[in-house]
Chains A and B, each alone.
Chain A
């Protein structure tokens, strides 16, 4: 978004003169929505960001949360929606690069990647091009830098056909003693390491702060090019520099390039800086303006004591990583940039990085009423047919085609691998039994029908997914993907989603330690894509060998449902895939049930009573049971009358309602009574609804009917549907 006439006037007043072109570019980058959060800052203050475990909250390049005494986890989420729409391969790959470098700034070791992807329907030619490009971009980049991609979320909806959402996350680990909190002193040197600066990604943040053009090819110059080998060297070099305690502060050169990095550090420490732009190593001749705002990837800024320069140079030389020393901090409070002796910019750092905040008007659009319409009198359909449709839905079916292209094993710490559990579980160290669980979640349909409750449900689902592997959630980070903040009807969705996250995180007692906002996700006609809240959650596991996967383990085990089912069909996958409807009241968020049911499940794990667990989410009980059966290759028979369902009058309500706060667990064969007694004691609604069986079939008994599907048919659809639709 270019500067407005008012903003240019403001710059004149700050400088008390006409700004140079270089200065204008610096303000444009720094004041863009992407870098300044000007439309969101006021509301972001609603989020609960603290807990006893939070060591570094929002504000830095990445937060840090204590997972175990002395062991910190560093989670980060980013969006690369606009670049991925224009150049799916490089757009997605550079998204990974940026989020990994944010982790490095704290001296943490990146140990896992997540990708949360929202595409058009797989069969559509344009979305198929985007899907293949994005997945290959993540695969080629993530695999090459040696960080496993272990979890995520994928969703298909036609509103994302032209403008996908590509949210990526990285999880780092650090010992408390090695955490680089960072202090910058006057006299410290500015060293830029990594790729030579080029012309790619010029003002990329500004590009991401406006709607996509109709002809996206014209924006190709704003997309950066990915170079994973250099990123891998950055990871290795920074690991060594941090261990040797040779750097005072590290900053990623990301959105806004050199300008943003330098102005944020100068402001944080109330310092000035003198830069000699011609000293920076370049890929080709650039003007000083281009140097200041280029967003070339795989570059980082080290701030070091001049006495350490020799040692630092030795390590950089060992890894053959290009670098240049381009300036030093001082006490002037001004960013002074020279190019071949000439001063090209001289601006007060504080004014450049000054928090900008504006109150955006917000108004619910008429279409928000769709989320208030009750669903009544659905025609009756064959439940077997409905189940088969759901298991073949690309939102439900196995994403093997995607995750097998990711190296999810490198690091030799992935205990629960993609496709087997509700969350991934990773060991913190080769010989330590402790681990962490991570998962990403969203439901664009929920957030578009009811942004407040939809966002709250995303937080709750993430919480459940972490609980379901037997872990304790400790923190989340969020990404809000919204439309044009200048349009009140778009901004309303952002505002309500944010309030939904804040409310649910507060209720569950889980801090939101970081996050990002991505606006202007609309097509060239001005229609916003489905506003979407993505959540990445982190949990802790005391003993990874006890972590739970979801597949049925044995036949003859009692199958239990934890939680009450309500007739919540609105906004469901069932309603969409079977009836083509996207309306209705979405399931209510139920924070107190979430907490109670989670406690019960964790207690079952502690007492060693269960074999498998799975949270009930899209597709409801029917799909959840089918998934557990298919993955385990073990049949199941349940009696729908035993499911505690309030107000249910029809089988489809029991089978496909998406009521929150529910789990299915497979109990150890002789533990049903103990588990039920425990439920009674803890006042939990838990029922045994059936048993796993030897016969390879998924069977539901109901009042009048018997619903039965052969397991091989379900498996065939579950494993192949997505790839077949992709063509």
Chain B
């Protein structure tokens, strides 16, 4: 059975929600919360860095966790072809660690924001989006204070050409992200980072009327990919 490590730093708070997301879609992967100091790169087929406030978001969101020894191990795992997903604070950590390009700045309106948004996935590639189709609408909630994606034009053009981009639909950009970017993958799709919370958009009952459970495809995709390849 594929094994997925859900990394917990001090202050991480969505770790159990991610494990539960696999349970709720009836997945048979073994997803486990792993304390960051106890992470052993050899044991895992995929890695998820969940949301929260690692180290209380001191300095900048994700800045301290990105400089831990654990992130070094995760960087080595990526080099070996292990898929990594960063959600919210996890995305911030991946960007701080240089595993994904761009930066995540404080929201334009200066406040924390928690609400449901609609996003669209463009050019899905890699193990986290195997089952998604280009242009598919994926609805998920956001909850963050520092989620405004920023990137220079040149790097953005590269992203658009080579990576998957998860984009807020018109009228749903909650934080002023440039080009409405909600999430991006690495060029090979192995590393995926996004601000919205897919684990909170699994199963009809958690989804408000008029939205779809847009997080499910991420968890189904990784299970599919780990079993059958991507």
Residues of A within 8 A of B (CB): 139-140, 143-146, 227-229, 232-233, 318-320, 403-415, 417, 420, 427, 430-431, 544-545, 549, 551, 553
Contact = CB atoms under 8 A, between A and B. Distances in A.
B75 to A, nearest CB: 23
Interface stretch (B7-15, B90-98, B181-189, B221-229): B7-15
Interface stretch (B51-59, B78-86, B126-134, B157-165): B51-59
Contacts of B55: 229
A229 B56 contact: yes
A405 B112 contact: yes
Interface string B186-214: 00000000000101101011101100000
Interface stretch (B19-27, B39-47, B66-74, B147-155): B19-27
B17 A420 contact: no
A420 B23 contact: no
A501 to B, nearest CB: 33
B35 A144 contact: no
Nearest to B21: A412
A144 B206 contact: no
A318 B38 CA distance: 9
Contacts of A553: 209
B55 to A, nearest CB: 7
B76 interface: no
Contacts of B11: 144, 229, 232-233
Which among B20, B23, B24, B58 has the greatest number of chain A C-beta atoms within 10 A? B20
Given A143-B145, A545-B205, 17 more contacts: A139-B111, A144-B11, A144-B13, A144-B53, A146-B52, A146-B53, A233-B10, A320-B10, A405-B114, A406-B114, A409-B114, A409-B206, A410-B51, A410-B143, A412-B14, A412-B202, A415-B205
B23 A430 contact: yes
A549 B199 contact: no
Given A232-B10, A320-B10, A144 B57 contact: yes
Contact of A229 (B14, B16, B53, B143): B53
11 contacts: A139-B111, A144-B53, A144-B56, A146-B13, A403-B114, A406-B114, A407-B143, A408-B114, A409-B197, A412-B200, A412-B202
Nearest to A415: B205
A405 B113 contact: yes
User: Which 5 pairs, one residue from A and one from B, show the smallest C-beta to C-beta distance?
Assistant: A146-B13, A229-B56, A430-B20, A412-B17, A407-B143
B24 A431 contact: yes
Nearest to A143: B112
Which among A144, A412, A430, A551 has the greatest number of chain B C-beta atoms within 10 A? A412
Given A229-B53, A404-B115, A410 B17 contact: yes
Contacts of A431: 20, 23-24
B204 to A, nearest CB: 7
Contacts, number: 93
A273 to B, nearest CB: 32
Contact of B13 (A410, A417, A430): A410
Contacts of A408: 114
A412 B52 contact: no
B117 to A, nearest CB: 12
Contacts of A229: 10-11, 53, 55-56, 58
A354 B97 CA distance: 57
Contact of B113 (A146, A404, A410, A551): A404
B111 A143 contact: no
B124 interface: no
B205 A232 contact: no
Contact of B206 (A403, A406, A415): A415
Contacts of A140: 112
Contacts of B23: 430-431
A232 B56 CA distance: 9
Given A143-B53, A417-B208, A410 B35 contact: no
Contacts of B113: 404-405
Contacts of B200: 409-410, 412
A146 B208 contact: no
A411 B114 CA distance: 13
B101 interface: no
A407 B204 contact: no
A659 B197 CA distance: 42
B200 to A, nearest CB: 5
Contacts of B209: 549, 551, 553
Contacts of A551: 209
Contacts of B16: 411
B62 interface: no
B14 A146 contact: yes
A457 to B, nearest CB: 30
B112 A409 contact: no
Contacts of A549: 209
Given A409-B197, A412-B200, A427 B13 contact: no
Contacts of B111: 139, 404-405
A408 B142 CA distance: 10
A146 B50 CA distance: 12
Nearest to B58: A229
B135 to A, nearest CB: 26
Which among B17, B56, B113, B114 has the greatest number of chain A C-beta atoms within 10 A? B114
A594 to B, nearest CB: 29
A612 to B, nearest CB: 10
Nearest to B174: A404
A434 to B, nearest CB: 12
A427 B205 contact: yes
A319 B14 contact: no
A384 B155 CA distance: 55
B142 to A, nearest CB: 9
Contacts of B206: 409, 412-415, 427
B34 to A, nearest CB: 12
A321 to B, nearest CB: 9
A171 to B, nearest CB: 17
Which among B17, B51, B55, B113 has the greatest number of chain A C-beta atoms within 10 A? B17
Contacts of A146: 13-14, 52-53
A405 B174 CA distance: 12
Which among B24, B58, B197, B208 has the greatest number of chain A C-beta atoms within 10 A? B208
Contacts of A413: 206
B37 A143 contact: no
Nearest to A411: B17
Contacts of B21: 412
Contacts of A420: 208
Nearest to A132: B111
B112 A407 contact: yes
Nearest to A403: B114
A213 to B, nearest CB: 32
